[in-house]
Amino acid sequence: MPPRARILIVDDDPAVVGAFGLFFTEKSCAVRGASSAREALALVEREKFDVIFLDHVLPGLTGLQAIRPLLQKSAAPILMITGHFDPGLKQDALLMGATDCLAKPLNFVELEARVLALLGG
| Model confidence, pTM | 0.93
**By C-alpha distance, which of 88, 112, 90, 109 is closest to 100?**
90
Q: How far apart are CA 113 and CA 39, in angstroms?
A: 27
Asked if residues 87 and 101 have their Cβ atoms less than 8 Å apart, the reply is: no
How does DSSP classify residue 53?
Answer: E
Query: In this predicted model, what pLDDT tens digit does every residue of 14-65 receive, in sequence order?
Result: 999 999 999 999 999 999 999 999 999 999 999 999 999 999 999 999 999 9
Mean pLDDT of the chain: 92
CATH architecture for residues 6-118: 3-Layer(aba) Sandwich (3.40)
Cα–Cα distances in angstroms (integers) from residue 21 to residues 25, 60, 64, 89, in the given order:
6, 23, 22, 25
* pLDDT at residue 87 greater than cutoff 90: no
* pLDDT at residue 111 greater than cutoff 80: yes
Which sequence spans correspond to the domains of the chain? 6-118
